Amino acid sequence: MRVGIIGLPQSGKTTLFRLLTGAAGGGHEAGVGIMRVPDSRLDFLATVFNPKKITPVTIEFVDFPPLTKGAGKGEGFAAQALAQMRTVDALLEVVRAFANPAVPHPEGSIDPSRDAGLVEAELLVADLDVVEKRMARIDENLRRGRQGDDPRERPLLARCHEALAVGVPLRKFGLAPDEGRLLRGFQFLTQKPLLIVANVGEQTPADIWRGLAPLLEAPAAPGQTVLKVAARAEAELAELSADEAAVFRKELGLEASAQPALLRACYEVLDLITFYTGEGSELRAWAIAQGATALHAAGTVHTDMEKGFIRSEVVAFEDLRGAGGIAGARKQGKYRLEGRDYVVRDGDVITIRFNV
């Protein structure tokens, strides 16, 4: 799972990147850091399976260079950054909602909603450029009598062009499943799930709150979530002991650590759940799309398991915990045999049987 962190200059996105990963970021090249997802269920399962190795879900965060006006056209360092940006699974956009005279805003004032609009405008331009170039290529192929293009592609791209041209990101376009598959190879930026993080200060002036309100109060959109985080304060607290951090957190009026909320939001915007495998010497957590089948889960673990899939043996985490382990779950009839079309549920502990 890869999440790209984007934003305007001086938004605090690199501070958030360091908070999440502990890695350095910033500069003209993308910084990369890995975060292991804390998981209390995995911790409990370790006491049941007693494995030699425990592997949690990890999220790779990529801190991209700041977006500036014209970035959507691939100007300057943006060309390489946009190409890399298309490879991530979701975008985490940091908008500035803190006041600091020592850190001037490139637009001259703090307005989170305006900044979100500026970032989206660049992504829209980048996607429009891809659509126009592909439509021109298809038209040229038709003119030269070349075969091979899917006849559905040109009219679908024309509809996408109409939406993008009037400022509608493709995540709000309402694509049918077959249309989504047809467009998958383009990796459109405005089609990617989007988590907007409003980077607030410990004390945010009223005028900034007014600029933030349209983002926080906007109706929920498919594939888009908005969250508030005091990135600088959280980064400083992360360097303290747990007891010291709790004291200062209370003084600053901050709630629990922002990291769990950010991770949950990444899961939600990507529509993911977690399942577990404990066969052999390794206990492992896996992230998978909501609604995925046992066959898909098998392929997530290993392609050979998907090819030779026979059945899955499944027990829900809560049932396993309540029964005290696998043996107890079997006695209580909670251990089930499921076929390839079984829809995996969050927390399922799965053993996959397959032919090599």
Could you tell me the CATH number of the domain that includes residue 216?
3.40.50.300
Q: Is residue 159 part of a domain?
A: yes
Neighbour count for residue 166 (Cβ, 10 Å):
8
Q: Is residue 276 part of a domain?
A: no
pLDDT at 210 over 90: no
Neighbour count for residue 199 (Cβ, 10 Å):
22
pTM as predicted: 0.88
The position carrying tokens 């049918």 is 176
Q: Is residue 103 part of a domain?
A: yes
At 84, phi and psi to the nearest 5? -70, -35
pLDDT at 335 over 70: yes
Neighbour count for residue 224 (Cβ, 10 Å):
17
Domain of 338: which CATH number? Answer: 3.10.20.30
Same domain, yes or no: 188 and 254: yes
- Position with higher pLDDT, 280 vs 44: 44
- Position with higher pLDDT, 109 vs 347: 347
Closest CA to 183 of 113, 142, 134, 256: 134
Same domain, yes or no: 26 and 122: yes
Same domain, yes or no: 167 and 42: yes
Closest CA to 186 of 243, 242, 135: 135
CA separation, residue 132 to residues 84, 129, 137, 143 (Å):
20, 5, 9, 16
> If 0-12 CB within 10 Å is exposed, 13-18 middle and 19+ buried, where does residue 146 land?
exposed
Where do the DSSP E strands lie in 176-238? 194-200, 224-229
Taking a C-beta distance cutoff of 8 angstroms, is the pair 62, 2 a contact?
A: yes
Instruction: Kindly report which listed range (97-106, 209-218, 322-331) carries the lowest average pLDDT score.
Output: 209-218
pLDDT interval class at 253 (50, 70, 90): low
pLDDT at 212 over 90: no
Same domain, yes or no: 170 and 219: yes
Q: Which domain holds residue 325?
A: 291-354
Same domain, yes or no: 255 and 122: yes
Tokens matching residue 341: 């079309």
Rounded Cα gap, residues 106 and 250, in angstroms: 33
Average confidence score pLDDT of the chain: 88
Rounded Cα gap, residues 96 and 85, in angstroms: 21
Number of domains in the chain: 2
Rg (CA), the chain: 23
Same domain, yes or no: 161 and 192: yes
Q: Which amino acid is at 203?
A: Q
At 4, phi and psi to the nearest 5? -95, 130
- Position with higher pLDDT, 3 vs 174: 3
* Cβ-count burial 260-288 (b if 16+ within 10 Å, e if not): eebbebbbebbebbbbbbbeeeebbbbbb
Instruction: Kindly report which listed range (62-76, 130-144, 179-193, 264-278) carries the lowest average pLDDT score.
Output: 62-76
Instruction: Give pLDDT, residue 308.
Output: 95
Same domain, yes or no: 232 and 188: yes
pLDDT at 353 over 90: yes
Instruction: Give pLDDT, residue 27.
Output: 59
Same domain, yes or no: 78 and 222: yes
pLDDT at 75 over 70: no
- Position with higher pLDDT, 234 vs 140: 140
Q: Which amino acid is at 242?
A: A
Instruction: Give pLDDT, residue 23.
Output: 74
Q: Give helix 258-270 / helix 13-21 axis angle, nearest 10°.
A: 100
Instruction: Kindly report which listed range (151-160, 207-216, 329-338) carries the lowest average pLDDT score.
Output: 207-216
Rounded Cα gap, residues 85 and 145, in angstroms: 34
Same domain, yes or no: 149 and 205: yes
Of how many residues is the chain composed? 356
Instruction: Give pLDDT, residue 203.
Output: 66
What mean pLDDT is predicted for residues 211-222?
75
What mean pLDDT is predicted for residues 250-258?
71
Q: What is the DSSP string of 123-154?
A: HHHHHHHHHHHHHHHHHHHHHTT---S-TTHH
Q: Is residue 279 part of a domain?
A: no
pLDDT at 303 over 80: yes
pLDDT at 144 over 70: yes
pLDDT at 208 over 80: no
pLDDT interval class at 76 (50, 70, 90): low
